[in-house]
Structure 1
Amino acid sequence: MKIAGKVLVGLFIVLVGAALLFVTLHRSRATVAGDEAQPVEISGSLEAEETDVNVKIPGRVAQMLVDEGDEVTAGQVIAVMEADNIEAKANLAKAALAAATFQYEKARNGARPQQLEQAREMMAQAKAGFDLAQSTYNRLSLLYKEGVLAQQKLDVAGTELEVARARYNAAKEQYDLVREGAQKEDVESAAALVRQAQAASDEVQTYLNDAKVKAPIGGTVTMKAVTGGELVSTGMPIVTISDLRDIHVEVKVRETALGQFRLGQIVPVKVLGVPGKVYRGKVYNIGAKPSYATERAYQEKGEKDLVAFGVKIKLDNSDLKLRPGMTALISLAPRK
């Protein structure tokens, strides 16, 4: 009796193992297509064309203008970076360009008495502005040392001081140039200063434009990584935009069943997230290389490895009900 009991236990273990093996193989066939002579039952996850939107300048996000699920258009501003210092530098660059241009025009055209008086007045005004900016910066420096003023406000005041100093220096140079007159080489030098100032102004303006983060494509915001007030670094994605109208599913098909798929073929696709509807999927890509080995051969039996190929199927998502990550099911009748 003991021997018979052991035999029964062993037989039970073998049957359980065989059942588990059958279930495993059956599930494998549910996600990877099999032979052409068998029905193809295969599943995959929906995917969409996605684009990560990165910031081009590091710093703090002043505003996030979109949320997940929002529709955006190409070129739409989706976030704004803090740019106080950049704006101050842009003003400095514009002032330098204006001064260089004025200096060039005066050097080229010469000066009349009224122009000399005008240059003197501009220098006096610039000097008054510089003195005020210097006084303001000195006062704020004391407040900063006492711990009652933020570093950022002191930095802005410092930038404004540099702007005022540049304006004064430029105005003084203009006055001296108008008073003394200009030679040919002075005109050429003034023209070079204009070109240099223009290049600097263009560069700062580019940084200022980059402070407004724009959507490179139209679509739906499917991921929002930051909120207003957060610090971000260059190249860090702040949102992901997906073109939900361009939805597809990529499935893995065994080489023995690959012949059941052809480019342009219409196949029925069910999506678990949209019950009761069968989509007409269109095969638009069949992989030229295998993606991975689906079955390893038993060499002693003379069998060979079986590999799988990726097959991409596009779906019509004009109603925007489909979302990336949803499970898609594809069933094809066996080929006769």
Structure 2
Amino acid sequence: MRKFIYILGVAALIQSCGHDTPLKNSFEGKIERDQIAVTTKIPGKVHQILVSEGDVVQAGDTLMILEFPEVEAKSIQAKGALESAEAQYKMAVKGATENQLKQLRAKRDGLREQYEFAQKSLARMENLIKDSLIAQQKYDEVYMKFQGAKNQYLAVQAELADAENGSRIEQQKMALGQKERAIGAVSEVDVATKERFILAPQNMTIETINLKVGELALAGYSLLSGYLVDGTYFRVTIPERQLQNLTVGSKQELLFPYLKGKKIEAEVVSIKALNSYANIATAYPDFEQQESLFEVKLKAVQLDDARKLLTKATFILHLDTSK
């Protein structure tokens, strides 16, 4: 019986050593970084790629240039429509040209002469009809010519007034609306043209370039992806019984085995319950089956200390339970 117990003890010791179980109250976690994807709002072909995987870029740096043949065609159309709308608006405000005004004034003077002659003829006919020297038919013909000359003279006067004063206000507003619509179309094309240049939204490290030169970039498709330069954080899984030693805002010391024991001071920024065991970040979490697990997120106190750390590398958090 003693021999059997001894064998079980040795087997347990060997198994424990094989898993390289960490020290008590020490937890292994993983270095993580906030990811970011750079997309395009307008479909186009990749014309030029200005970065390589692994490059560190600043916010506003040009990462990629796209081609938009359709946008260039629309730009020509929009500019042509704007020129036409501007001409229509100027014509509506200014009215007739100087030559058109000269023609209308000459037409007015000619019709005025006809009107005055018809008026004199009618006056003579009135005297003759009183003395019964002419037939009523002859008088009616002269009167009809007088009315025609009068109406033509009044019409050309109104036409000349419109030409001198410009178009009516409704026509001017309509022309102005067409002009503003054309200006909006040009602005829309200018905005689309600027979208050719894919810029870095934040300081980031280029992790993956998903397209090559000549390939089609669809709207919303991830062209490049990477990690935020200052988005490094540390993720570790802690059982509930150890949470008494951790509070949001507390400072903890992290150890990095792959850097030969380098230490970094970090601050606890959040503690949340894990809904799935698949999210466990610690390699060998020491917890009872009925215990809940919590994910603890920490960030380096000095951001420069975390920028060169390798993503997914392991760190060790040791909780001091003596406090």
Shorter-chain TM range is 0.5 to 0.7
- Of 236, 253, 263, which aligns to 1:278? 263
The C-alpha deviation readout for 1:189-209, integer Å capped at 9, x for no partner, is 211211221222222223222
Select which of 315, 318, 323 maps to 1:331.
318
Q: 2:89 aligns with which of 89, 98, 104?
A: 104
**Identical residues among aligned pairs (%):** 28
Larger Rg over CA atoms = 2
Aligned-pair distance for 1:186? 2.9
Q: What is the distance in 2 between the residues matched to 1:115 and 1:222?
A: 69
Give the superposition deviation at 1:115: 10
> Quick check: 1:292–1:308 contact (8 Å CA) kept in 2?
no
C-alpha distance 22-276 of structure 1, shift in aligned 2 (>3 A): closer
> Is the counterpart of residue 220 in structure 1 residue 186 in structure 2?
no
**Quick check: 2:203–2:229 contact (8 Å CA) kept in 1?**
no
- The structure 1 residue matched to 2:183, chosen from 174, 198, 204, is 198
The aligned counterpart of 1:159 is none
Give the superposition deviation at 1:86: 0.8
- Quote the Cα distance in structure 2 between the aligned partners of 1:215 and 1:114: 58
Relative distance call for 1:54 and 1:272 in structure 2 (3 A) is farther
Change (3 A) 1:332 1:187: same
Q: Tell me if 1:79 matches 2:70.
A: no
Quickly say closer, same or farther: Cα 1:273–1:61, change in 2 above 3 A: farther
Q: 1:274 offset after TM fit, Å?
A: 2.6
Shift of 1:308: 0.9
Per-residue Cα deviation, 1:270-312 (whole angstroms, up to 9, x for no partner): 224433421112222122x3444699xxxxxxx8611210111
Q: Per-residue displacement from partner, 1:229-248 (whole Å, max 9, x unpaired)?
A: 22222211111242233321
Report 1:1-336 matches (<5 A): 18=12, 22=16, 30=22, 39-113=24-98, 182-287=167-272, 289-292=273-276, 305-315=290-300, 316-318=302-304, 320-335=307-322
- Distance in 1 of aligned mates of 2:43 and 2:7: 63
Deviation track 1:252-281 (CA, whole Å, cap 9, x = no partner) reads 001111112122222221224433421112
Unpaired runs of at least 5, structure 2: 102-162, 281-287
Unaligned runs of 5+ in 1: 1-7, 31-37, 117-177, 296-302
Whether the 8 Å contact between 2:245 and 2:320 is mirrored in structure 1 is no
Where 2:259 maps in the other structure, the secondary structure is coil
Number of aligned positions between the proteins: 248
Q: Match for 1:53: what amino acid?
A: V
SS across alignment from 1:318: helix
TM-score, scaled relative to structure 1: 0.64
